[in-house]
Amino acid sequence: MTNYGLVIPTYQPILDAGRTAPELVETAVEAERLGLDSVWVGDTLARAPLDALTILAAFAARTSRVTLGTSALLPALRNPILTANQLLGIDLLSGGRLTVAVGAGFAGRSEPEFAFAGVPWERRRARLDDIVALWRAAWSGAKSFHGSVLHHDSLPEFPAPARPGGPPVWLAAYTPGALERVGRLYDGWLPYPPDPADYGAGLARIRATAARPVTPALFATVLVEADADRGGDLLEEYCLRNYGRPASFVQGIQMQVTGSAGEVAAQLRKYQGVEHFLLRIASTEPKVFDEQLPRVAEVVNLLRDQA
């Protein structure tokens, strides 16, 4: 069965536009009411965000069914042992509904964030793999951890997680090295390639070499607007505000689509093998976002009806 989730914006642009933290929690509640399967938040130090793990804890308290996730957490910016404890707390508060998608940072954008946290940019992928392995060791009751970057002769004792081994951890990346690491070290894959053929090729490579079950997911930016001109204008505005680049540039890097509900559903359907769609609404204006949410739910219903 395919799942569909909503990425809820928690960064400065939507807060500057008037959205409040309690209203973001209400968005998660509404997404659950509309029948979506999951809600997700991003993680950064670059755009004055609300803390991802704090927001997810609030979501856990107000929802009862949806998966709660990060899209994607940058673990290198946080103390890994304290983060293991925070994630465990959310996992237990939510009754085992947490999924943690993680990334190593995006070259050309994330270097200042690593500098803020006092973490070396070099060997960031090995550091990420070590952090995830350390989390799993701590959640499994290990007494020590020694990886290629991180070394701890002793680990604190934590409560048992809601599921044996702790919450699933997905890798948000698409490089050739990432495709190999996903199948060895992670429970899921979260890329956003603009070409469905590239997604299919990447998934085939993962499946050919995977040593463990992997959930294939897709991060997709959507704007449901039947008026093509208005949809194009809103998407252009979003890309300029969010990335400082025109939509034509951003769409060469990540999956974005605008159109009627049927047209958006048709584009998403081209990505074969996806088991979990993460849908990000292409707007940081609260009014537009609120208008879009039921339209995104309509897209999800179309996809489910035609499955």
Picking from 121, 130, 120, 123, the residue whose alpha carbon sits closest to that of residue 151 is 130
Is 21 inside any structural domain?
yes
Q: How many CA atoms lie within 13 A of 225 on its CB side?
A: 19
Residue 48: pLDDT over 80: no
How much is the pLDDT for 171?
A: 98
How much is the pLDDT for 47?
A: 80
Contact 102, 172 (CB under 8 A): yes
Is 291 inside any structural domain?
no
| Domain of residue 121, residue span | 3-219
How much is the pLDDT for 118?
A: 95
Confidence grade of residue 46 (pLDDT, cut at 50, 70, 90): confident
224-239 pLDDT tens trace: 999 999 999 999 999 9
Is 269 inside any structural domain?
no
Is 256 inside any structural domain?
no
What's the mean per-residue pLDDT of the chain? 96
Residue 258: pLDDT over 90: yes
67-117 pLDDT tens trace: 999 999 999 999 999 999 999 999 999 999 999 999 999 888 899 999 999
C-alpha triplet 192, 90, 100: angle, nearest 5°: 20
Q: What is the pTM of this model?
A: 0.97
End-to-end CA distance of the chain: 9
Confidence grade of residue 40 (pLDDT, cut at 50, 70, 90): very high
Is 264 inside any structural domain?
no
CATH number at residue 129: 3.20.20.30
Number of domains in the chain: 1
Is 80 inside any structural domain?
yes
Residue 216: pLDDT over 80: yes
Is 281 inside any structural domain?
no
- Return the percentage of the chain with pLDDT > 90, whole number: 95
Instruction: Indicate if the alpha-carbon torsion angle 180, 184, 186, 187 is positive or negative.
Output: positive
How much is the pLDDT for 246?
A: 96
Is 241 inside any structural domain?
no
